[in-house]
Amino acid sequence: MMYERTRLHPASIVVTVLKHLREFFFPLIIFVVVGFRDGGIFSFIFYGALLVLVTALIGYSVAVWYRFYYWIEEEELRIESGVFVKKRRFIPQERIQTIDTSEGIIQRIFGLVKVQVETAGGGTEAEAVLSAVTKDEAQRLRNALLYKEASVLSEVEQDTMIDERIISKEKDEVRPTYTISWKYLFVVGTTSGGIGVVLSAVVAFASQFDQFIPYEDVVDRFGLVLQTSVYFIASIVFLVLLLSWLISIAMTMFKYGNFTVVKQGDELLISRGIIEKRQLTIPLARIQAIRISQNLLRQPFGLATVYVEIAGGAGGKEADFATILFPLVKMKEIKRLMKEFTPAYSMQQLTHVLPKRSLIRYMLRLVVPAILVSSTVTYLFQPYGSFSFILVGIAIALAYGQFKAGGWDITGSQLQLSYRFVNKNIVMIHKKRVQSFEWKESRFQRRQALQTINAAIKSSISSKNFRVADVERQDGHEIFNWYTHQKSKIN
């Protein structure tokens, strides 16, 4: 099959310009501020240089668009690019796993989509990115590259065959569909850890302008107020935290708005986003594990987030952290949802929990450092430093929570591990997806017949590990025997 050489839509020029402007955002802001403050002849020099820079960037983006071609030939997606050095990339059809689409602001203005081609064994970035193509073109690429049985047909025949197959499937079966309500999405935002990310961004943003904003003068002028009014300081801190919390909620709503999961044959189609609309295609065969996570705010209400661990980097950079399958569901509904969407996995009740003698080890790992830190702070910052002993109480509660969360279960070919660092996690892995399994004993563990077990799966370009500390030695050997079919002796 031959697919003629094609350029991207001219809107990709705008996408490239904005991409480079975003990378140079802070230097450009400082550049403009400096030019504005200096005045006189220096202003003309600064703004002249800025005009030259922007013009060169636009010219470079036009050249990138003009030199970029893609086509399909001999069952390969071929891409030619490069302004100064010509580069060609050949992606065999059999290596292509998914073709995902997204719609940023620019794409939505022009009615286009961005196409990301993911391959087996890919890294954290997509193997190929087409930043601006029409929706019909994206569908033709999907039909030609994913539906291998259609590769020898003409484009019209491919479209007809695929449409008929989809219509036939829709008539014969009801596709499982999951959507999250705006009420639940608001709860996702209010109970997420996004406030920390927003606070970090605010601090980083403010630090870029320390040369232009007279922070020291502000502190000197209001120093007396700051020293005499604890309520004023507390109010400022409260307002900053409240603003960060509201921003994190808004970010969550924009990112996961209209979140939908549809099971179509042996694929999961996930779409989400308000400003940037994204669609991910996840073949069930690429799922390495299912992970259920509960943070401290959601667990008391029986709520959790469900992730799928993917091999090969589906979703680009997100593959480093896994892909959200269900943003927020009740724990009692997870088993039903998994039966509909990921029938190869099933959440079971833990049949093996941690022995009581391992509790002391969890306490020692967290409580002893907390006591040392609190004692040091109390000694250095008397008398208010004694409040730091609250940290000891937190350490005790967290250590007990880690102990209660730990456990494992084996059902047929599925291994289920449960553990907690701060969030509680339940992981389900099939034997064929476990890349390696190991157990370790320290000198102190050996005295109490305890072990630490670790199961690793392939995730992106590296491995992801799931670890449960201080299980029974016999339990560790039992899992090892299940995984290797080789009896492990207990000494």
| Lowest-confidence segment of 9-13, 47-51, 329-333 by average pLDDT | 47-51
- Look at the block and give the residue holding tokens 């079971």: 348
Q: Which residues of 115-127 are buried (b: 16+ CB within 10 A; e: fewer)?
A: bbbbbeebbeebb
| Identity of residue 178 | Y
- For the stretch 329-366, pLDDT in tens is 999 999 999 999 999 999 998 889 999 999 999 999 99
**Secondary structure in 3-state letters for 347-364:** CCCCCEECCHHHHHHHHH
* Cβ neighbours, 10 Å, residue 13: 21
Mean pLDDT, range 395-405, rounded to an integer: 95
> What ranges do the domains of the chain cover?
11-172, 182-256, 356-403
Half-sphere exposure of 448 (CA within 13 A, CB side): 18
CA–CA separation, 371 and 353 (whole Å): 28
DSSP state of 96: E
pLDDT digits (tens, 9 = 90+) for 134-178: 999 998 888 888 765 444 444 444 444 445 445 444 444 568 899
Check: CB of residue 476 under 8 Å from CB of residue 453. yes
Q: Round to whole Å and give the CA distance between 260 and 282.
A: 13
Task: Using the structure block, give the residue that is written with the tokens 């059999």.
Answer: 94
As a dihedral over the C-alpha atoms of residue 68, residue 73, residue 77, residue 82, rounded to 10 degrees, the angle is -20
| pLDDT of amino acid 488 | 55
DSSP structural state of residue 39: -
Decide: 118 and 299 in contact? Cβ < 8 Å. Answer: no
pLDDT at residue number 122: 56
Does the pLDDT of residue 95 top 50, yes or no?
yes
CA 267 to chain centre: 20
| CA-wise closest residue to 438 among 485, 483, 406, 490 | 483
How is residue 453 written in tokens?
């077990």
d(CA 482, CA 479): 5
316 pLDDT band, cuts 50/70/90, is: very low
Among 380, 324, 374, 37, residue whose Cα is nearest residue 192: 324
DSSP assignment, residue 166? H
Is the distance from CB of 350 to CB of 409 less than 8 angstroms?
A: yes
Classify burial at 161, counting beta carbons within 10 Å of its beta carbon; exposed 0-12, middle 13-18, buried 19 or more.
middle
- Supply the pTM of this predicted model: 0.75
- Out of 156-165, 273-282, 465-474, the most confident range is 465-474
Provide the β-strand partners of residue 436.
456
Q: Do residues 409 and 457 make contact, with C-beta atoms less than 8 angstroms apart?
A: no
For residue 296, give both structure tokens: 């401290």
CA torsion through residues 453, 457, 459, 461, sign: positive
Tell me phi and psi for residue 41, to 5 degrees.
-65, -30
Q: Token digits for 387? A: 């409040």
At 206 the pLDDT is 53
Report the pLDDT averaged over residues 459-463: 64
CA distance linking residue 203 with residue 241, whole number of Å: 12
User: So what's the pLDDT on residue 252?
Assistant: 84
Residue 321 pLDDT class (50, 70, 90 cuts): very low
In this prediction, residue 319 has a pLDDT band, given cuts at 50, 70 and 90, of very low
